[in-house]
Structure 1
Amino acid sequence: MRDNLIPVIVSRKWQIAKGYHAVELRTTSKSALPPFNDGSCVTLCLNSTGDNERIYPLLGVSSLSDGYVVGTRQDGDGRTGSLLSRFPLNERDEVFVGSPQSPPTILDDRARSILFAGGIGAASIVGIAKRLASAGQRFEVHNFARSADRAVLREEFDALRSHGKVYHHFGLSDDLFAQKSSHAMSPTHANTQVYCSGPPAFMDLIERQAREWVYAANVHKIALGDQTAC
């Protein structure tokens, strides 16, 4: 049994973009949950032994001390036995939540940051961008989605335009996506910080491209879903 797991109930679920939902989790004991920073994520498990764990981004839109709101992709792909089907997060479901984990956010006035978001990974990236904006850091965001109506937290990205550069890319082919992401990093200084969160193939491509320009330690991947670390 994992000692840091807290039982919670799914209290609400609503759409935030086509194919994506926000899910509110409330503690069964009405006790306060640990605080978290923008861009943080949490591990949810189906039981107290830590089985079938899955990592979700915290949206940070709940004003309830006994509630978290996480972002999730809708189970609509029809794949039998998929992890989403086994972890549906329907209203009144009980799951177990771990302590929030905050992704690394490097604050350095001498360097700029480039952030890449795909799918529900936008929730983590917009949180990191907010932290950079609050610290007065230079940054630019590239948000990718299959269509405008599938873009998660688009308005929150747009609200950061007075602090940094924000670009949305919709409906790109794989080749065009690779061109756009490569162009965003070429040329860039070796001390530039690169952040990415999205599907595994998305992050792998960003990492390969980034390592052509920046130090390996400056590439930060925020892994969600059925990963083992945030």
Structure 2
Amino acid sequence: MSGTPLSLIVEVKARHDEARDIATFELADPHGRPLPAFSAGAHVDVQIKPGLIRQYSLCNHPEERDRYLIGVLRDPTSRGGSVAMHEEIQVGDLIQISAPKNHFPLEHAKRTLLFAGGIGVTPILCMAERLAHTDADFEMHYCTRSAERTAFLERIRQGTFAERVHFHFDDGEPEQKLDLEPLVGTPDPRTQIYICGPKGFIDFVLATCKAHGWASHQLHTEYFAGAVADTSDDGSFEVKIASSGASFTVPVDKTVHQVLAENGIEIMVSCEQGVCGTCLTRVLEGEPDHRDLYLDDDEHAANDQFTPCCSRAKSKVLVLDL
């Protein structure tokens, strides 16, 4: 992984087990200096160890400047980042992170609906803190497998906006399960909806909203992991660098980013799953095969940019603005 700007060194000041398999890490400047400001929905890139960088949403109040709080789910099926965070990062460690970035910003609205699934609560909780602080009209629905796997349960229950949060546990009573119809059955142009969690959860809420006529600009999502693409029909293709005219073959078993890096052409990357948008690259000619979860449908249809960390080509050649 290369090119990611890790401009800050922070110290792990505290670590807490928030729920089963979920831990929070409190990060602060080693010398007590204020950290860069952030807004609700922001995340930071964290270098867990050399060559291993992951993105974690900030889940503390967005007006705090003395610390960043991130929540990490230990997922044994992941690519190793969450396990390494849980097993290797200790209080007192100095780690490198990026300045906060926000691809999931909170917009002003008459009313806001927040939907969190599992560890997707991290940016949603930050949004709830901000909305409560500004006395905005909002409602939060938090879905988890069980109470013991619900991060920040007591923090929310004891918070100033507890009455606006509804918990939905998979192992709870039937009437406690999330029923979307009463919540999104009637579109309201004054309402904005934010959804974060596993892909299946996001897709379910999105599909339900769209089926009831909600406009795309009212629906905001953030995915934590890329989709599993069908690679059975993948083939090789060429990428051409516009500035030099150099061409390189991208074989079936490598990404565009990997091939370019092998040939000394660095593209800034981070998640390597098409989630964060860090590697977004302009396409001058050719048709990309979009496999990201960052661009929306209209941006995919324009075919003028793509994510070389995971996306491929439908055409024989892609000319990149590099």
TM-score, scaled relative to structure 2: 0.58
TM-superposed deviation, 1:123: 2.1
Aligned to 1:116: 115
Aligned CA distance change for structure 1 residues 177 and 61 (closer, same or farther; 3 Å): same
From 34, 37, 44, give the equivalent of 2:46: 44
Unaligned runs of 5+ in 2: 226-270, 278-293, 295-322
Q: How many residues are paired up?
A: 222
Partner in structure 2 of residue 34 of structure 1: 36
Distance 1:204 1:64, change over 3 A: closer
Greater C-alpha Rg: 2
In structure 2, the residue matched to 1:25 is 27
* Aligned twin of 1:84: 82
Higher-RCO chain (CA-CA 8 Å, sequence separation at least 6): 1
Question: Structure 2 matches for 1:183-222, cutoff 5 A?
Answer: 183-212=182-211, 213-222=213-222
Distance (whole Å) between structure 2 residues aligned to residue 120 and residue 215 of structure 1:
26
Shift in Å at residue 187 of structure 1?
Answer: 2.3
| Residue deviations 1:124-157 (CA, integer Å, cap 9, x gap) | 1121122222333222111111111211122343
Judge conservation of contact 1:107–1:132 (CA < 8 Å) in 2: no
Q: Which moved more, 1:2-11 or 1:195-204?
A: 2-11
TM superposition shift of 1:72: 0.7
Residue type at the aligned position of 2:108: L
Partners of 1:195 and 1:64 in 2: CA distance: 22
Give the letter for the 2:82 counterpart.
L
Q: Partner of 1:147 in structure 2?
A: 146
Please state whether the residue corresponding to 2:27 is helix, strand or coil. Answer: strand
| Residue number in structure 2 paired with 1:137 | 136
Determine the structure 2 residue equivalent to 1:107: 108
* Aligned partners of 2:61 and 2:130 also within 8 Å: no
Cα distance in 2, alignment partners of residues 189 and 104 from structure 1: 20
Return the offset for 1:19.
1.7
Counterpart of 2:43 in structure 1: which amino acid?
A: C
Aligned equivalents of 1:123, 1:72: Cα separation in 2 = 9
Q: 1:71 aligns to what?
A: 71
Q: Distance in 2 between matches of 1:204 and 1:86?
A: 28
Provide, for residues 46-86 of structure 1, a one-character-per-residue CA deviation record: whole Å limited to 9, x for no partner. Answer: 468xx4332112232799966422111135x4x48544235
Cα RMSD of the aligned pairs, angstroms, is: 3.5
